[in-house]
């Protein structure tokens, strides 16, 4: 395989491609039956921050009969070199060509990485269309949140895995081995897998109107997601690979729980990863100790969708504090709930300099926060801000979303008022005028599949820009406010693919052919190129993003079952328009989202021992 060393002096950040990091695993190729290349379709520093990669790396490499090696999207300078020298894309561990592996698994985290996926396949020398790949080419498998509506990618993939991957990956490897030992073909393998929960084989379905239907009677009409019922029993990587160059999140991580039932109506993760499954404190303390001992990190991040909601947070922190380690340990939380308790916890964790605290009120008025089911009041935010300023923070970061359903000018002005109120609290708390800062970060609403807002249109680019201008005007006089926003055209593209169907695949192919890469990076994103691609493919992107979908129309993801019932999503959508909030089922009462009875699982809270049986319809 290529003299990688020859390439390295000619690219930026060569450490992205060398492999051999601490805790990386290199197995004897000839002694292993099933070889998997795992691709993260973005750069090394982003991919190495992804806990899911480390979990699968550990799960597969723990098996004596399988290996998993990593590959990331090469930066354009490396792509140019690979193409000019005719070197196929290679993995980091063995520097072998990706096309030599049995399986290429690609994680689908974000719609704006889709052109990178096509680029990875092409650089690997793997035909882009699944139907053009023979038996000698790797099986291309996708997983992650975007697998819950993968239709725009359907022609390029052999298989999608829905839901938690820890158990599914073993089932996949076992069956692959069995079929191959018996001399079976890829199609035999896929046909068998398609009958099992969690595996969606797009070539065994066809698009009919907007919906997707099976081609054969033995293939299920709906594919149900996989759920790991007991996270304490799930494999966790005690020896994660330590990146050579600083990753976006450069710290050790333990996953405190999976799932979130707060019920924000725009949030896809909150719907597709239900129910909540917490790990118990002794398991987490042990995992924290192992991961720190085996990496040397001095920071441990407690990850989840909302860590402050962990029912045993204080006992967990106390347990971690008691660890006898060779070096001091800082514990961090990735995001904070908007309340004073959360600030108190953050204060307890922060030693020395306090840089910035982040809260996500999401909307500027109580009316709109009720619409999106963000159960946070202005008083909560101001109390949290006061607690933060009194504890010594001088800079707060606030996340908002614009373009939300029912949003009016008043809601945008409400953001300005809320920010000014936070500044006033800072002044009252005696933060020096020149040091007080509020960073306001604004995202544009993107309707996502499997959420109560999946039927909602995205507002037009003109309207989005108009609302951003209004917000700028609102905050113009506030020199202590740093305003930033997500590029609306990127959010438009995200909305197109988030609710897309198979008819989008030719446009995606066109965009890649026209040079689109790293669409999630502002410096690479080219909307004119995408417009040309849509025109060439005869696709109207606005029909996907700007249209209000009807309750009774068949949706391109209806055949994929995340467990939450459509009846619940409709009810939530209607409650949003009535301004009614829905409680979190962790507060004790099931609100009937449907996950538990339909998947035979239940919420697991650490607080009460092993699990908590709410009235979910399960005995």
Binding residues (CB under 6 A) for ligand SF4: these are 261, 274-275, 585, 590-596, 603, 614, 616
CA distance 263 to 375: 9
Q: Which is nearer to ligand SF4, 76 or 583 (CB)?
A: 583
CB-neighbour burial class of residue 225 (10 A; exposed 0-12, middle 13-18, buried 19+): buried
Q: Which is nearer to ligand SF4, 483 or 614 (CB)?
A: 614
* Length of the chain as a residue count: 619
Locus of tokens 């949290």: 384
On whether the CB atoms of residues 378 and 324 are closer than 8 A, the answer is: no
Q: Which is nearer to ligand SF4, 362 or 572 (CB)?
A: 572
CA torsion sign, 438 to 439 to 445 to 451? Answer: negative
Nearest distance from C-beta of residue 7 to ligand SF4, angstroms: 49
Which DSSP helix (H) or strand (E) runs through 199? strand 199-200
Locus of tokens 């991919």: 47
Q: Which is nearer to ligand SF4, 579 or 617 (CB)?
A: 617
Strand bridging mode 199-200 / 139-143: unpaired
CA distance 320 to 430: 34
Q: Which is nearer to ligand SF4, 74 or 592 (CB)?
A: 592
On whether the CB atoms of residues 232 and 105 are closer than 8 A, the answer is: no
On whether the CB atoms of residues 357 and 343 are closer than 8 A, the answer is: yes
Specify the DSSP class assigned to residue 248.
S
Nearest distance from C-beta of residue 279 to ligand SF4, angstroms: 17
CA angle 333, 490, 273 (to 5 degrees): 45
Nearest distance from C-beta of residue 603 to ligand SF4, angstroms: 5
Nearest distance from C-beta of residue 609 to ligand SF4, angstroms: 17
The residue among 142, 202, 150 whose CA lies nearest residue 172 is 142
Nearest distance from C-beta of residue 565 to ligand SF4, angstroms: 9
Q: Which is nearer to ligand SF4, 186 or 226 (CB)?
A: 226
CA distance 210 to 237: 41
Q: Which is nearer to ligand SF4, 414 or 594 (CB)?
A: 594
Nearest distance from C-beta of residue 585 to ligand SF4, angstroms: 3
Q: Which is nearer to ligand SF4, 500 or 592 (CB)?
A: 592
Nearest distance from C-beta of residue 329 to ligand SF4, angstroms: 33
Nearest distance from C-beta of residue 198 to ligand SF4, angstroms: 18
């Amino acid at each position: 395989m290529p003299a990688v060393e020859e390439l390295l002096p000619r690219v930026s950040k060569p450490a992205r491609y060398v492999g051999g990091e601490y805790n990386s695993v290199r197995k004897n190729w000839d002694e292993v039956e099933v070889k998997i290349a795992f691709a993260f379709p973005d750069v090394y520093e982003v991919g190495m921050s992804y806990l899911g990669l480390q979990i699968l790396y550990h799960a597969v490499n723990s098996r004596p009969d399988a290996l998993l090696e990593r590959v990331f999207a090469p930066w354009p300078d490396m792509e140019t070199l690979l193409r000019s020298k005719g070197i196929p894309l290679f993995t980091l561990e063995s520097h072998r060509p990706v096309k030599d592996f049995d399986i290429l698994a690609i994680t689908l985290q974000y719609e704006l990485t889709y052109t990178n996926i096509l680029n990875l396949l092409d650089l690997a020398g793997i035909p882009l269309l699944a139907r053009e790949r023979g038996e000698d080419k790797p099986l291309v498998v996708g997983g992650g949140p975007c697998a819950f509506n993968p239709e725009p990618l359907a022609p390029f993939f052999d298989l999608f895995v829905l839901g938690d991957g820890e158990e599914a990956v073993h089932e996949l490897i076992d069956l692959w081995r069995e079929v191959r030992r018996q001399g079976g073909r890829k199609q035999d393998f896929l046909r068998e897998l398609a009958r099992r929960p969690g595996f969606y084989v797009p070539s065994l379905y066809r698009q009919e109107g907007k919906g997707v239907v099976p081609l054969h009677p033995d293939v299920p009409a709906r594919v149900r997601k996989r759920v790991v019922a007991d996270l304490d029993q799930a494999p966790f990587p005690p020896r994660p690979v330590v990146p050579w160059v600083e990753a976006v999140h450069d710290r050790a991580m333990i996953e405190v729980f999976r799932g979130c039932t707060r019920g924000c109506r725009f949030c896809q993760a909150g719907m597709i990863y239900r129910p909540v499954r917490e790990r118990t404190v002794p398991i987490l303390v042990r995992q924290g100790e192992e991961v720190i001992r085996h990496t040397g990190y001095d920071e441990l991040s407690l990850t989840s969708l909302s860590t402050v909601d962990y029912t045993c947070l204080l006992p967990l922190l106390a347990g971690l504090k008691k660890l006898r380690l060779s070096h001091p340990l800082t514990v961090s939380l990735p995001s904070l709930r908007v309340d004073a308790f959360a600030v108190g916890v953050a204060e307890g964790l922060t030693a020395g300099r306090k840089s910035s605290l982040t809260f996500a009120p999401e909307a500027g008025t109580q009316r709109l926060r009720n619409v999106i089911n963000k159960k946070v009041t202005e008083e909560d935010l101001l109390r949290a801000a006061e607690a933060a300023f009194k504890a010594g923070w001088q800079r707060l970061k606030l996340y908002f979303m614009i373009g939300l359903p029912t949003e009016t000018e008043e809601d945008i002005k409400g953001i300005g008022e809320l920010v000014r109120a936070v500044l006033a609290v800072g002044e009252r708390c005696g933060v020096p005028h020149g040091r007080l800062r509020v960073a306001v970060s604004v995202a544009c609403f993107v309707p996502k599949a499997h959420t109560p807002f999946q039927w909602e249109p995205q507002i037009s680019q003109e309207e989005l820009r108009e609302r951003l201008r209004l917000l700028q005007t609102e905050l113009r006089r506030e020199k202590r406010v740093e305003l930033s926003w997500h590029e609306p055209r990127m959010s438009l593209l995200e909305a197109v693919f988030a609710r897309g169907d198979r008819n989008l695949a030719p446009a995606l192919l066109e965009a890649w052919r026209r040079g689109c890469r790293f669409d999630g990076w502002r410096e690479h994103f080219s909307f004119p190129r995408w417009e040309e691609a849509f025109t060439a493919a005869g696709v109207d992107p606005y029909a996907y993003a700007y249209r209000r979908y009807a309750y009774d129309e068949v949706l391109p993801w209806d055949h994929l079952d995340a467990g939450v019932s459509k009846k619940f999503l409709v009810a939530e959508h209607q409650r949003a328009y009535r301004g009614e909030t829905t409680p979190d089922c962790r507060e004790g009462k099931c609100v009937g989202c449907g996950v538990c009875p339909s998947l035979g699982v239940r919420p697991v809270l650490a607080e009460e021992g092993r699990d908590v049986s709410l009235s979910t319809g399960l005995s």
